[in-house]
């Protein structure tokens, strides 16, 4: 399979929602000969609005609920739609209740009961306590005392119902988007971070699965060791798993997590795939990642159990960083395509040669850059050395604008799938960057201008897809998700 797609998080759509703009984007993908839409995680975000620090590994982000659809259904007056999100979601819920549509919500709640009830309670308690993290709640609620939990369910029943409604509306909008994608023969790629946020419903509900002290605070946290990028490494702060405990029940939480992800998406990117082979363990009281140690990850046994439960796994391995032979063996054993980033090909990265398109293997997904990179135009303008720019220009040997030269280079490669951030096809600079790693605030806010994706742009992408045989042919059905990368 040779295919191509675009990377755009739904919050970067002109409206930032799963409404009409999302469906127009799918139409653009189809017109441009793109088979895939890749997103970042779509869970409810907490502090800093990072999709990689979600309040739940299962829930959807209510910030993506479509206002337009609620207005169309008569659940939201036009004037209420201009209010803050939480306010208009409450107005919509009240109208929903008055219309006697409770049975629809009940059916959804029953089907998602395994995660939804704990998440709704977590959110209700969190809102009642000024959004502070769960380790700062009253001890009985923090520790899930049965009597305290029963009382909270009763006292916060209305707020719990509000959270259920928000998840129900996200589900409806998502299902509508899936139908549009199916009609356009576009497949969705999601993102599953290996670690979850400490302040999340998952950690509060399943404390036994994480390395925590009695008060719920982490014993050890995740990160990566010092390298040529950082002399102190990166201390991410996510709690680490009790992998042996998870193994005893067949990694049930993970199986449920992947099953939920594959209900929403046709394939998923495994963020920090390296961590499944080995991970960097940092004592929680250490301010940096320097005093950590490598620990063995769950490895092949984990993916074997998951595959037995779910069938062949349509996973993309984000295998960037300290890639050891064990990481590569693990990826290849389960036929997961790896990741190649063209921006890394021209600097001082020790693996730079592997990121040059002429060295790609077939089983990779190639990107000009990702959400953590500067845009291609921004990267080229702001490269730390002239030698990096000269190396890129020499390698590309193109008279095209730098972003189109980079796009063409990955399209020409043997990579089975090429995914390009929308910012790059638009030729935008650093002002359109999605994330600056290590900078806690000001990320994840970029939005595309209305009308930016023009018919001429679709034609140019489609022509490029046709030239390098990435254009889907009319009679060719898209494969089932388990065969996406076979």
Grade residue 484 by pLDDT with cuts at 50, 70 and 90. low
Taking alpha carbons only, the member of 442, 461, 444 closest to residue 453 is: 461
Q: Of the residues 17, 318, 319, 374, which is catalytic?
A: 318
Q: What are 5-17's pLDDT values in tens digits?
A: 999 999 999 999 9
Q: What are 421-462's pLDDT values in tens digits?
A: 999 999 999 999 999 987 888 899 999 999 999 999 999 999
pLDDT at 384: 63
DSSP secondary structure letters along 53-120:
SBS-SS---GGGS-HHHHHHTTSS-TTGGGS-HHHHHHHHHHHHHHTT-HHHHHHHHHHTHHHHHHHH
State the first-to-last Cα distance of the chain, in angstroms, to the nearest integer: 8
Q: What are 78-128's pLDDT values in tens digits?
A: 888 788 888 999 999 999 988 877 888 999 999 999 999 999 999 999 999
Q: Are 194 and 271 in contact (CB under 8 A)?
A: yes
Taking alpha carbons only, the member of 173, 189, 178, 176 closest to residue 35 is: 189
pLDDT for 207 beyond 50: yes
Q: Of the residues 219, 312, 349, 372, which is catalytic?
A: 372
Grade residue 229 by pLDDT with cuts at 50, 70 and 90. low
The question of whether 104 is a catalytic residue gets the answer no
Q: Which helix (H) or strand (E) holds 317?
A: strand 315-317
Return the exposure string of 382-409: e unless at least 16 CB atoms fall within 10 Å of the residue's CB, then b. ebeeeebbebbeebbeeeeebbbbbbbb
Tokens 């909008």, residue? 173
Q: Are 343 and 376 in contact (CB under 8 A)?
A: yes
Which long-range contacts link 400-403 to residues 24+ away (Cβ below 8 Å)?
A: 401/377, 401/427, 402/376, 402/377, 403/368, 403/375, 403/376, 403/377, 403/427
Q: Of the residues 271, 319, 416, 424, which is catalytic?
A: 271
The question of whether 155 is a catalytic residue gets the answer no
Whole-angstrom CA distances from 260 to 58, 123, 394 are 7, 20, 45
Q: What are 291-312's pLDDT values in tens digits?
A: 999 999 999 999 999 999 999 9
The question of whether 431 is a catalytic residue gets the answer no
Mean pLDDT taken over the chain: 94
């Amino acid at each position: 399979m040779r295919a191509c797609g675009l990377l755009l998080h739904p919050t970067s759509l002109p409206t930032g929602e799963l409404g009409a703009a999302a469906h127009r984007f799918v139409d653009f993908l189809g017109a441009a000969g793109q088979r895939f839409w890749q997103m970042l995680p779509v869970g409810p975000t907490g502090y800093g609005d990072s999709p990689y620090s979600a309040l739940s590994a299962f829930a959807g982000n209510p910030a993506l609920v479509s206002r337009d659809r609620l207005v169309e259904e008569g659940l939201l007056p036009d004037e209420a739609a201009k209010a803050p999100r939480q306010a208009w979601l409450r107005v919509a819920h009240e109208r929903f209740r008055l219309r006697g549509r409770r049975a629809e919500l009940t059916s959804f709640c029953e089907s998602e009961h395994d995660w939804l009830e704990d998440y709704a309670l977590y959110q209700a308690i969190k809102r009642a306590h000024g959004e502070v993290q769960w380790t700062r709640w009253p001890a009985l609620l923090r520790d899930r005392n049965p009597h305290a939990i029963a009382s909270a369910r009763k006292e916060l029943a209305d707020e719990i119902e509000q959270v259920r409604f928000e998840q129900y509306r996200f589900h409806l909008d998502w299902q509508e988007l899936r139908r549009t994608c199916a009609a356009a023969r576009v497949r969705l790629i999601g993102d599953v971070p290996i670690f979850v946020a400490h302040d999340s419903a998952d950690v509060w509900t399943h404390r036994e699965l994480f390395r925590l002290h009695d008060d719920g605070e982490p014993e050890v946290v995740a990160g990566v060791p010092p390298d040529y990028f950082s002399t102190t490494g990166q201390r991410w702060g996510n709690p680490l798993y009790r992998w042996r405990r998870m193994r005893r029940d067949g990694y049930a939480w993970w199986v449920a997590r992947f099953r939920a992800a594959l209900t929403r998406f046709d394939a998923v990117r495994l963020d920090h795939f390296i961590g499944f082979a080995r991970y960097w363990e940092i004592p929680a009281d250490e301010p940096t990642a320097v005093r950590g140690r490598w620990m063995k990850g769950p490895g092949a046994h984990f993916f074997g159990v998951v595959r037995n439960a779910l069938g062949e796994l349509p996973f993309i391995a984000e295998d960037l960083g300290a890639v050891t032979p064990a990481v590569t063996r693990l990826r290849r054993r389960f036929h997961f395509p790896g990741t190649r980033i063209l921006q890394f090909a021209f600097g001082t990265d020790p693996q730079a040669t592997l990121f040059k398109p002429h060295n790609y293997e077939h089983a990779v997904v190639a990107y000009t850059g990702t959400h953590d990179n500067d845009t291609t135009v921004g990267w080229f303008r702001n490269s730390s050395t002239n030698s990096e720019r000269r190396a890129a220009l020499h390698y590309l040997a193109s008279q095209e604008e730098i972003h189109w030269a980079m796009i063409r280079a990955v399209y020409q490669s043997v990579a089975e799938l090429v995914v390009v951030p929308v910012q790059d096809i638009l030729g935008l600079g650093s002002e359109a960057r999605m994330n600056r790693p290590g900078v806690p605030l000001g990320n994840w806010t970029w939005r595309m201008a209305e009308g930016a994706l023009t018919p001429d742009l679709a034609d140019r992408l489609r022509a490029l897809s046709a030239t390098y045989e990435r254009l889907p042919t009319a009679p060719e059905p898209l494969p089932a998700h388990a065969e996406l990368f076979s």
